[in-house]
Amino acid sequence: MKRGLSFRLSALVLTATGLVLAAVVATSYVIAREALLHNAEANAKTLAQALVSRIEAVLAPIPGLAQGVAYDLEDGDLPDAAVERQQRRILADNNAVYGMAVAYEPFAHRPDQRYYAPYLCRTPLGPKMINLGGDSYRYHGMDWYQVPRELDRTVWSEPYFDQGGGNILMSTCSLPFHRMENGKREVAGVVTADVSLEWLKRLVAGTSVLDTGYAYLITKTGTYVTHPAPGVAFNETIFSRAEEYGDRELRRIGQDMIHGGSRFVAMKSLHTGKDGFLVYAPLPSTGWSLGVFYPRDELLADVHSQAMVSAALGGGGFLALAVLVAFIARSITLPLRRLTAAAREVAGGNLEAPLPVLAARDEVGELAESFANMQTSLRQHIRDLTQATASRERMESELRIAHDIQMGILPKLFPPFPDRPEIDLFASLTPAREVGGDFYDFFPCGEDQFCFLVGDVSGKGVPAAFYMAVAKTLIKAVAESAAGAGQRRQDGEDAARAQRRGPDPGRILARAGDDLAQDNESCMFVTIFCGLLNMRTGEVRVASAGHNPPLLLRAGGDAQYLPTHGEPVAGAMEGVTYTTDTLTLAPGDTLLLYTDGVTEAMSPDNELYGEPRLMALAPELTGRDTREVCARVERGVRAFAAGAEQSDDITLLALRFLGAGANAG
Amino acid sequence: MRNIKAKHGFCIRLLLGLATFCACAAQPCLAAELKHAALVLQWQPQAQFAGFYVAQAKGFYRQAGVDMTLIPGGQDVVPSRLLADGRAQFATMFLATGIERRAGSQAKPLPVAHLAQLVQRSALMLVVRADSAIKTPRDLDGKRVGLWDNEFGLQPRALFQRLGIHPRIIPQSSTLTLFLLGGVDAASAMWYNEYHTLLASGLNPGDLRVFFYRDMDLNFPEDGIYTLDKTLAQDPSLCRAVVDASLRGWEYAFAHPDEALDIVLGQMRAAHVPVSRAHQRFMLERMRDVMLPQKPGDTALGTLTRADYERVANALAGQGLIKSAPPFERFSRGGDMPPSPTTSGVAR
């Protein structure tokens, strides 16, 4: 498909607009996202801290309760009943406390009693007092007792499954109490307060964090106390989970968490597989750590929806713009397309094709105007051309007619005198243009006399043709009148004298020249070679008015140019006389007359044919009949010119004297 | 408990052979003929006993004609005691424990018979913090050292006796909390268990320094399968069946660790003990390290060498933990069991 201007215009505008729109949407998205993430970090820390505070509110008082019992035990020998009363009161007043034990060192309560640990715990039927310890529950080696005893400080145990005690998952806050033994302060036992982890689990697990976010709690050794994934709490540590998933980052995070670190870090949740952020903070009383995971996509949901809205708005606007741009582009290019169609019609030859009329004064309007101007000029030009062509054709036709007329006035019947076998004559004229200034003529001129001539008018074309016609007619008239005069023998005159009074080439040329010179305003002239042959004797009298010397080809093989006297051309001025020379032709001699079209024929190298070349042709002309002579000379000239344009008329006239006794046959 | 008369042994073996060819069809009719037995393990369910649980779950015991009951151990479960009072016919014990029970140092001698040795290289170790002043075991003198009771105390006490040091012994619970919180300077650990627990509590290997007893000329081969002389005498083919099926279970567990872990984890969940797949995987891998030959010349699975026996027995006797060592032949009775039925080899 050809892509037009409107397509390119639309494409360019829409591409640029689309890029700008996309950049705007993307930039505003990034800015909004950064702002939201910044806020999210603060919010997340606040939420985590709030959760920590809620847990601490429950856990923080626990050690104090145990400590109170311990102080009482240290202060004096409380009766067992008093201790139990205190345990019952604490359980009654503190919902968080699941159970409470006062566990003694071996034989510390009574010398015969290895185990003594009254333990009050909640049951569905109310608090129940049991005594811990025995061969199947050797509590002195258990963490809840041993760790605070060895460390001699308050310790929150790891979450444990207490099979001998409450039979639930719990953590125990334990702290030692002391007695003075032999002046030394010795650990006498441990006071514990059990906290069920179920409430903690519910609290942390019930903390909603967006949609799929979650909170979890790990202990000082990284053990999960709560975790949304089933089978993780109390089974896995954050480190074993990191190991299982090959997540080194989680292990580093876990190490920071159990060392009381508090941070906001980007990470991928192993539970949901989502990218997000983890905020974690320690629980001061237990040393445990709370982690809250925020899925990134949900955190950014608002930004996403905002970005979607702006993208939708941008997209809608873009589509509207696309329609508008396409419409505008089409309306701009419509005149162009109409112009194109009109131009195509004009180019097809219909110059009258109507051009669209455009109201717009813009570039397209100017183009249409220029186009209309062009069409007008083109029409004018074609009209002029048609006229010029018509007039030239007329002229050419007239010239063709003139040519025919000119050729018509030249004798063309060969042999000219079939009844006179003494002579063989042939002449030809090849004009350089339609009409020319060369001519030849021959005609009987008195008894046994035969006049022949070749002429060449100055200039070329129509004027020369006219002049030639005049010259030829004049010469013939002069020659024939002279012949008539010669034949009208006056009394007492002998034949020879009459003969002398008869036609004479010199006189003919002189008289014709005078006539031509009169009223010759165009200053034209003509060169003529004129000869009179006595067909009985072979005597030839010749005169030349500035014409090329003819070539005489003797029957014996000699050839020569007839000498001339360098007499002027005829018609240039009046009163010029011409000398008549006489020569005798032996039977078989040939006289070749020609115009300068032969000798001045040009080769393609601008070389003249010249008289020597014509002379060199002489041997092969000797003894030929006149038609053959003319043909050979013409062939030679044409070969020399080798296709070069003929610049002048070529006229040849060959006369061969065959002798008085020659037979016509 | 119902004892099958010895004269029926041939029939059982015949049926066993049939069972391997048409297990499904044969099993219902075999069920009536299964011998009941119980095997008590030293500790709670974990990958340390993967082979036994796998053998049970995969039906290897049943295929061997035994209706097996596995009794998990615990802090208050002493396998030899269960053997003695007949609650179990088979038990896993440390080699040192077995010798001590047979020799009867403190309690009445118990005629335990060693059937197969599983753990050839001791996994017991002492762990101290790398940044502590304890660079060698000798530095433990006067320090607080967490030790377990019973069989776990034999090597440490032998070591302390040999080194002439007197650490302050703190009974160690089933957790390492005391060590982690700095309540003891050194803690006992099994390579396959507590050592990984420390790693899974956020400590890096570089944070710890470990002393393997096996590297201190105290390589006491550990878990082995035991019975009483009486049981062996009454039903040697039962002993053979139990040992073969157990070893088959172990080989299967090592060949299919993920399946074995699934089985072990299932047992652990049922017993309400903490379940961590990562931890159990580590344990199974270490069990492989201490059970299977690691280099040419290592003892094959199941075999107890006289040299290992004598090292442990001499150490116990030399340190007064036993009066005199029982003869190797009276103790190691694997050879008194009938040879393995060839079909069991095919079944593996």
| Residue in B with minimal Cα distance to A230 | B275
Mean pLDDT calculated for residue range A72-100: 88
Is the residue at A128 inside a domain? yes
B182 touches chain A (CB under 8 A): yes
- Say what the pLDDT of residue A102 is: 93
**CATH at A443:** 3.60.40.10
Min CA distance, B283 vs chain A (Å)?
12
Contacts of A258 in chain B (CB under 8 A): 201-202
Domain check: are A189 and A247 in the same one? Answer: no
Q: Best residue in A162, A240, A244, A250 to probe B by mutation, most B CBs within 10 Å?
A: A240
Q: Which residue of A has its CA nearest to B148?
A: A141
Domain boundary among A197, A231, A255: A197
- Among candidate residues B14, B25, B113, B114, the one with its CA nearest the CA of residue B65: B14
Contacts of A234 in chain B (CB under 8 A): 274
Residue type, B337: M
pLDDT per residue over A55-67, tens digit each?
A: 898 889 999 999 9
Distance from CA of B157 to the nearest CA of A (A): 19
Q: What is the DSSP string of B249-300?
A: HHHHHHHSHHHHHHHHHHHHHHTT----HHHHHHHHHHHHHHHS--STTPPP
Domain membership of residue A444 (yes or no) is yes
**pTM across the whole model:** 0.63
* pLDDT greater than 60 at residue B66: yes
pLDDT in tens, A568-620: 888 888 888 898 889 988 888 899 999 988 888 888 888 888 888 888 888 88
Residues A224, A185 share a domain: no
Q: What is the CATH number of the domain that holds A237?
A: 3.30.450.20
CA B112 to chain centroid, in Å, comes to 14
pLDDT at B221: 93
pLDDT, tens digit, for every residue of A217-238?
Answer: 999 989 988 888 888 888 899 9
Of A142, A236, A254, the CB nearest to B173: A142
Contact call for A161 and B75, based on CB within 8 A: no
Given a cut of 60, whether residue B18 has pLDDT beyond it is no
Residue-range domains of chain B with CATH:
6-121+221-347 (3.40.190.10), 124-216 (3.40.190.10)
pLDDT number for residue B12: 46
Q: What pLDDT does residue B168 have?
A: 95
* A48, A156: one domain: no
| A258:B202 CB<8 A | yes
| Contact flag A147-B76 (C-beta cutoff 8 Å) | no
Among candidate residues A197, A215, A232, the one where a domain is terminated: A197
Residues A96 and A223 in one domain: no
Range of the domain at A103: 65-197
> Are residue A389 and residue A453 in the same domain, yes or no?
no
Is there a single domain that holds both residue A320 and residue A373? no
Residue-wise pLDDT for A371-427, tens only, equals 888 888 988 998 999 999 999 999 889 888 888 888 888 888 888 888 888 888 899
Q: Same domain for A88 and A53? A: no
Question: Do A392 and A517 fall within a single domain?
Answer: no
The Cα–Cα gap between A332 and A336 comes to 8
Q: Read out DSSP for A338-375?
A: HHHHHHHHHHTT-TTPPPPP----SHHHHHHHHHHHHH
How far does the CA of residue A237 sit from the closest CA of chain B (Å)?
Answer: 6
Q: Say yes or no: A553 and A421 in one domain.
A: yes
Looking at the 3D structure of chain A, how many domains does it have? 4
**Mean of pLDDT values over A71-99:** 88
% of chain A residues with pLDDT over 90: 24
In chain A, what residues touch B269 (CB-CB under 8 Å)? 231
Supply the mean pLDDT for chain A.
Answer: 86
Same domain, A498 and A611: yes
User: Considering only alpha carbons, which residue of chain B is nearest residue A134?
Assistant: B76
Model pLDDT, residue A162: 60
Closest residue of B to A145, CA-based? Answer: B173
Same domain, A232 and A379: no
Q: Residue A576 domain-assigned?
A: yes
Assigned domain for A405 exists? no
Q: Which range is least confidently modeled, A239-253, B105-119, B194-208?
A: B105-119
CB-CB: which of B201, B272, B277 is closest to A237?
B201
| pLDDT for residue A643 is more than 90 | no
Edge-first strand order for the sheet with B35-40 is: B66-71, B35-40, B90-93, B224-228, B112-117
Calpha distance A140→A174 (Å, rounded): 13
pLDDT of residue A563: 87
**Can you list the pairs that A204-211 forms with residues at least 24 positions away whose Cβ atoms lie under 8 Å?**
A204/A51, A204/A55, A204/A290, A207/A47, A207/A51, A207/A292, A209/A47, A209/A292, A209/A293, A209/A294, A210/A294, A210/A295, A210/A298, A210/A299, A210/A301, A211/A295, A211/A298
Residues A479 and A585 in one domain: yes
Q: Do B279 and A158 touch (CB under 8 A)?
A: no
User: Is A335 inside a domain boundary?
Assistant: no
Chain A contact residues (CB < 8 Å to B): 135-138, 140-143, 146-147, 150-151, 155, 157-158, 160-161, 220-223, 231, 234-241, 243-244, 251, 254-255, 258
Residue A69, token pair as written in the block: 């019992």
The answer to whether the CB atoms of A157 and B177 lie below 8 A apart is: yes
